[in-house]
Structure 1
Amino acid sequence: MDQVETLTMHEGVLLTHALLAYLASENDIRVLFVKGPGVVLQGLREGHQSTDADVLIEPQNFDRFLTLVESRGWLRRPSDPDGERFPTHSVTYYHPQWPNDIDAHKSFPGFEANSDTAFDVMWDGHTTVRMANREIPVPSLEASRLILAVHSLRSEWKHREQREYDFLLGLEISDQKAFLSICTGVGALAAARPFIAAKLGDDVISEWPKPSPEWVFRLSAKTGGLGRWHMLRQTPWQKIPRTVWRDLFPPTEVLLMNNLYTNTTPIGLAKAYLARFKSAMRTLLLSRSKLNVRSTQAKSRSDI
């Protein structure tokens, strides 16, 4: 599979699942393929063309699996080096000869349990689906349901995620006890609460845990700009000037995250930084506008 002729996105995604499953099996590494075509086959998502292969890797072999992926010519996409403020939960790969990406997960947003524990819970009861003439390991039906629900809630402002969430809401939970057990085991009760309450009632859990600051941040960060604005508001005032400077003029890797072909010449960087400044101003104005609206609404309610 090192040399691949022109592939369609559909072919690329299926064959990538097969390739990764082969690498994991041959090297005795546990992996689970999440979202993607697997959940379509499980009946949890309507037909949708995925553009990447999402694979959740057992934490103790995460780095070893990435080495295997890279040995097949896959290259890491740039990521924000500011891991302290923006910790990553996955590594994204692209390949010059493949149309799709690989999203290699070391954890899953919304799952607050220890990564090893969470993976073991997901692995327990896992199943397989047939894809590209190979058995592909995927989470159980209820575990996949949870992943999709949390993923949709994290990005509910997006049209596709909202449509998928509505589809999930229309499905019956086959095994409610197993579903709640998985939610508890991976520490996803707080993140999945809206879905659980909608399907089973808010009183199904006697004491709901509070969402983590990281999850609250992910819900507030509807765009990269809003995410940075949210973090800036929590930054000690002594560090604000340096933080603002870095957000407006970040390392080149940040500019390349969404577009590998970003012009990184001095003129290209100047244009990119100007665009970020304009975007930051729009985000700031939008945020202030929303705060003013909420303040007015709150005052109106207090006058009633």
Structure 2
Amino acid sequence: MPEKLPDEVSVPLPARIRLSHAYFQNLANANDIDLLHVKGYAFGTEVYAPNRNSTDVDLLVRPAHVARFLYLLKKDGWRSLTTFESGSIFEHAATLYHPSWGLTDVHRYFPGINFYDQAGAFEKLWEKRRLKQIAHFDCYVPQLVDCRNIVVVHGARSTGHGLHSDVLHLQRTLTDAQWQEMRERIREFNSEIAFDAALGDIEKHRGNRQYLFWKSAAEPTPLPLQWLGRLQRAEGLKQKLHVLTNIAEINDDHLAMTLGHEPTHQEKRHLFFERFERILRWKNK
């Protein structure tokens, strides 16, 4: 797990995160890698409420460049905390840690932005990219309407009661015309279902095979229904078998981050059987 930074290299977190954005962009520039800085200080008060802080850097990398980018990071002293497969049910981001720079999430796609055409979705975002200075360094970020849509679909993963605070901020501050622009743009990505899930309108999509998946992402949902949603969303036998395998396996990386140490065999065994106890409790309600 990430060790505490030594006092002699300790830097205030907001400054270190901003400097990390510049570091990543410089690395990408030097190696012909296309990446977009997303969320956090990359979006800033154009999108988020004032005084909102960030604890890591989120990067969306052109899918064809992801493997090379991860190779360069590991060569530069970064180590993996989670892989794409172990990071979340979306399998979208790998988390890496560096003792000086801190944490970063490297995204190979952004959940809610056209899962079924990840390369095409990145290209659409890349075509409308813009430069924004972070730590006095030119970094690539999406156009403003795409930034807003990314924040909205990210809110669809809150699994809480009510709308995510970032979505509520956009509702308070944007005009009807700006929301209409966002809706028109999200249609270009065929991503209306995640957009509506974030706004509490998931029922508009009942009957869509992604309906239960996004409903369980946006709302508290029993574990068996979460699993069913993942299976319904998967295309073809290969993807469905992949989902079943992931459901059956214990996610060692995620468990280690939750516990704060490498899980023991006893802890992994307990988690494995605890899943089925939750299913039985749900069935007996």
Q: Same fold (TM over 0.5)?
A: yes
Compared with structure 1, are the counterparts of its residues 25 and 284 closer, same or farther at alpha carbon in structure 2 (3 Å cutoff)? Answer: farther
Q: Which amino acid aligns with 1:128?
A: L
The C-alpha deviation readout for 1:104-128, integer Å capped at 9, x for no partner, is 1111111225112111111122222
Structure 2 residue runs of 5 or longer lacking an equivalent are 1-5, 233-243
Q: How many residues align?
A: 267
Report what 1:134 is aligned to. Answer: 137
The C-alpha deviation readout for 1:33-56, integer Å capped at 9, x for no partner, is 111112224243432221111100
Q: Which amino acid aligns with 2:269?
A: Y
Report what 1:78 is aligned to. Answer: 82
TM-score, length-scaled by structure 1: 0.71
Q: Is the 8 A contact 1:31 1:55 kept in 2?
A: yes
Q: Is the 8 A contact 1:24 1:30 kept in 2?
A: yes
Report what 2:18 is aligned to. Answer: 14
1:153-168 matched pairs, under 5 angstroms: 153-157=156-160, 162-168=164-170
Q: Is the 8 A contact 1:45 1:164 kept in 2?
A: yes
For the residues of structure 2 that align with 1:193 and 1:275, how far apart are their CA atoms? 33
Q: Which amino acid aligns with 2:129?
A: H
Q: Which amino acid aligns with 1:274?
A: H
For the residues of structure 1 that align with 2:251 and 2:198, how far apart are their CA atoms? 38
Between Structure 1 and Structure 2, whose CA radius of gyration is higher? Answer: 1
Compared with structure 1, are the counterparts of its residues 121 and 288 closer, same or farther at alpha carbon in structure 2 (3 Å cutoff)? Answer: farther
Q: Is the 8 A contact 1:153 1:165 kept in 2?
A: no
1:274 aligns with 2:270: yes
1:180 aligns with 2:176: no
The C-alpha deviation readout for 1:71-92, integer Å capped at 9, x for no partner, is 2111111348679x94511111
1:201-212 matched pairs, under 5 angstroms: 211-212=208-209
Identity %: 23
Report what 1:296 is aligned to. Answer: none
Q: Which amino acid aligns with 2:277?
A: M
1:220 aligns with 2:216: yes
Report what 2:262 is aligned to. Answer: 262
SS of 1:77's equivalent? strand
Cα RMSD after superposing both structures: 4.1
For the residues of structure 2 that align with 1:71 and 1:42, how far apart are their CA atoms? 35
For the residues of structure 2 that align with 1:144 and 1:284, how far apart are their CA atoms? 42
Q: Which amino acid aligns with 1:250?
A: I
C-alpha displacement of 1:227:
4.9
The partner residue of 1:31 within 31, 35, 40 is 35
